[in-house]
Amino acid sequence: MPYPPLVDYATEAEYRAHYERVYCSGPIMTFDGIAVRFRKNRFGHCFFESSQRDRTKDLFSTTRSARIDWIKAALQDPLSERFVGWDKVKKRYNRRRRVTIVMSNYVVVIQLTDNKKADFITAYLADTQGRGGRFTSVEQIRRGPKWP
């Protein structure tokens, strides 16, 4: 499936307006019929990253924001890789969380609220070394259980 070209706006405000226009006006349907709802307050989590790698998202990411149109494409891609998400607080897999990988290392995470409804959590380019340093973050995702 061809993916949309990267988006190149001049300002964070333009990306925010794009996100709200495309994603927050109504649910996006996945290829398998899940209605994903996007909240305006998720913009920061999705398009900012931590400058100090301390989980404080304080830096607008042009790498993340350029791929803004990939979120919808990933959710609607029947050829995507899908995995059960990890709950880092409970330290176990959470079958209500779905992690989608496309374009080899682009990740989109949703949280199911019902059988056919979900909330968007985040999206990012999984290009970092995972905790422990043995695997990249996308390799760690792929080591988990496949989505049913």
The domain in which residue 133 lies consists of 12-142
Is the per-residue pLDDT at 129 higher than 90?
Answer: no
Number of domains in the chain: 1
User: Residue 2 — pLDDT band, cuts 50, 70, 90?
Assistant: confident
Q: Which long-range contacts (C-beta less than 8 Å, at least 24 apart) are formed by 22-28?
A: 22/68, 22/69, 22/72, 23/71, 23/72, 23/120, 27/117, 28/71, 28/72, 28/75, 28/76
Domain-embedded: residue 147: no
Domain-embedded: residue 29: yes
Read off the pLDDT of each residue in 102-125 and give the average, rounded to a whole number. 96
Read off the pLDDT of each residue in 52-75 and give the average, rounded to a whole number. 91
User: Residue 58 — pLDDT band, cuts 50, 70, 90?
Assistant: confident
Contact between 8 and 67 (Cβ < 8 Å): no
pLDDT of residue 54: 73
d(CA 119, CA 146): 20
pLDDT of residue 50: 84
Domain-embedded: residue 100: yes
Full-model pTM: 0.92
Domain-embedded: residue 58: yes
